[in-house]
């Protein structure tokens, strides 16, 4: 184990964490402001990935493809919110879980109807397809660095939006006290649509950016949405800052667990036990962390609600 390997794993953890943040940011806002559990948020991520893969194929440009996917998914999110999901804001969490679970079924099959059952492959844009030598001996895929850069930029942009703009102020008001913001505010339903579309766009960005790294396939949203929920709950519902920190914690814990846990266990026990236990413990690790955090801080690390 060397310093370069450690650094590489840190970059991997950061990259994974930032992509989780893109998903979790929308989830936490919808959760915090509309008090809505949206299990189908992962479907928006999937739709973003499919739109990007298709648009990149048509235009031949990765950037144009991603932008089209963002616009398309945001529009779809706004439509979904204003036509359907808004009916469920006043309902209990159970109805929301059922409705959005049904939506997952619908959107999965919808995607299958349009794009067929096979996974789509997206090529890494040629400009950043090779590795870059960050340090002597540390070669890191350039595309993953782009993903990290995009993630950091969006995090910064979201911070500026939430903290320094008028709409950000309304978002924060909604997250910290929904009823009061509702009572005082003017166009609250317009705000809901904007927030939902923004969340959809961020999810689509994650899907589009991860397209070349993972396979674009039906069901890709479901494996990651649970992790995004973990992030939201760890960070504190409604808190964008909490989502960022939670996402990076989850990304790093997961990556480090997979990279180092078996090696560490070998120090304490026999190799066979370590080789068996290591991977299973590594996959369980974030859930153990989450259960521990919820046990001691049921409202998460950075509760937004007053």
Partner 1 sequence: MTSTLVSISSKAIASAGDAAGKRSSLVPTVAGLGLLTALLLFPSIAAALDETFYVSFVTRILIFALAASSLNLILGFGGMVSFGHAAFFGGGAYIVGMLSIEVTRDIGLLPGTQSAWVAWPTTMLACALMAALIGAISLRTRGVSFIMITLAFAQMIYYLFVSLKTYGGDEGMNIGTRSTIGFGLSLSDDATFYYVVLALLVVSMMLFRRLVHSRFGNVIRGIRENETRMEAIGYDTYRYKLVCFVIAGSFAGLAGALLANQNTFVSPRMLDWHQSGLLIMMVILGGVGRLWGGVVGAVVILLLEEILSEYTLYWQFWLGSLLLFLIIVAPKGLIGLADRAFKGGLK
* Residues that bind partner 1 in the complex, under the rule CB under 8 A: 37, 39, 84, 87, 91, 93-95, 97-99, 101-106, 108-110, 112-113, 179, 222, 226, 229-230, 233, 237, 276, 279-280, 283-284, 287-288, 290-291, 294-295, 298-299
Q: How far apart are CA 80 and CA 291, in angstroms?
A: 32
CB of 7 to partner 1, least distance (A): 27
Nearer to partner 1, 170 or 178 (CB): 178
CA–CA separation, 231 and 101 (whole Å)? 20
Q: For partner 1, which is the closer residue by CB, 205 or 230?
A: 230
Query: Cβ closer to partner 1: 38 or 205?
Result: 38
Complex with partner 1: residue 75 or 284, whichever CB lies closer: 284
Q: How far is the CB of 102 from partner 1 (least distance, A)?
A: 4
- Phi, psi (degrees; rounded to nearest 5) at 134: -75, -45
Closest CA to 251 of 14, 4, 7, 3: 14
Instruction: Tally Cβ neighbours within 10 Å of residue 51.
Output: 25
Q: How far apart are CB 106 and partner 1 at their closest, in Å?
A: 4
Quote the least distance from Cβ 185 to partner 1, whole Å. Answer: 15
CB of residue 107 to partner 1, shortest distance in Å? 8
CB of 134 to partner 1, least distance (A): 32
Closer to partner 1 at the Cβ: 118 or 139? 118
Nearer to partner 1, 117 or 136 (CB): 117
Listed residue (50, 55, 46) closest to 23, CA to CA: 46
Question: Shortest approach of partner 1 to residue 179 CB, angstroms?
Answer: 7
Closer to partner 1 by Cβ: residue 268 or 295:
295
A 10 A CB-CB count for 11 gives 18
Closest distance of CB 264 from partner 1, Å: 16
Residue 68 or 80 with smaller CB distance to partner 1: 80
């Amino acid at each position: 184990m060397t310093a370069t390997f450690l650094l590489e794993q840190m970059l991997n953890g950061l990259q994974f964490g930032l992509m989780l943040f893109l998903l979790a940011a929308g989830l936490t806002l919808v959760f915090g402001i509309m008090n809505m559990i949206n299990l189908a948020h992962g479907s928006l991520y999937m739709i973003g990935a499919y739109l990007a893969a298709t648009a990149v194929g048509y235009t031949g440009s990765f950037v144009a493809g991603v932008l089209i996917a963002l616009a398309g998914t945001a529009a779809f999110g706004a439509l979904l919110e204003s036509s359907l999901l808004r009916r469920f804001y006043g309902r209990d969490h159970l109805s929301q879980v059922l409705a959005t679970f049904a939506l997952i079924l619908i959107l999965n099959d919808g995607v299958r109807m349009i794009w067929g059952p096979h996974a789509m492959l997206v090529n890494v844009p040629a400009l950043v397809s090779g590795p870059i030598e960050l340090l002597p001996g540390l070669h890191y895929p350039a595309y993953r660095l782009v993903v990290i850069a995009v993630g950091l930029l969006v995090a910064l942009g979201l911070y500026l939006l939430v903290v320094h703009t008028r709409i950000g102020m309304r978002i924060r008001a909604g997250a910290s006290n929904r009823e009061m913001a509702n009572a005082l505010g003017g166009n609250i339903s317009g705000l809901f649509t904007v927030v939902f579309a923004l969340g959809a766009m961020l999810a689509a960005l994650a899907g589009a950016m991860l397209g070349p790294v993972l396979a674009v396939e039906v069901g890709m949203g479901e494996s990651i949405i649970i992790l995004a929920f973990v992030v939201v709950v760890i960070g504190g519902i409604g808190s964008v800052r909490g989502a960022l920190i939670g996402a990076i914690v989850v990304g790093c814990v997961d990556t480090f667990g997979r990279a180092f846990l078996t090696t560490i266990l070998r120090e304490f026990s026999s190799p066979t036990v370590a080789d068996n236990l290591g991977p299973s413990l590594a996959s369980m690790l974030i859930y153990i962390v989450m259960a521990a955090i919820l046990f001691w801080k049921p409202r998460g690390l950075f509760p937004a609600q007053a």
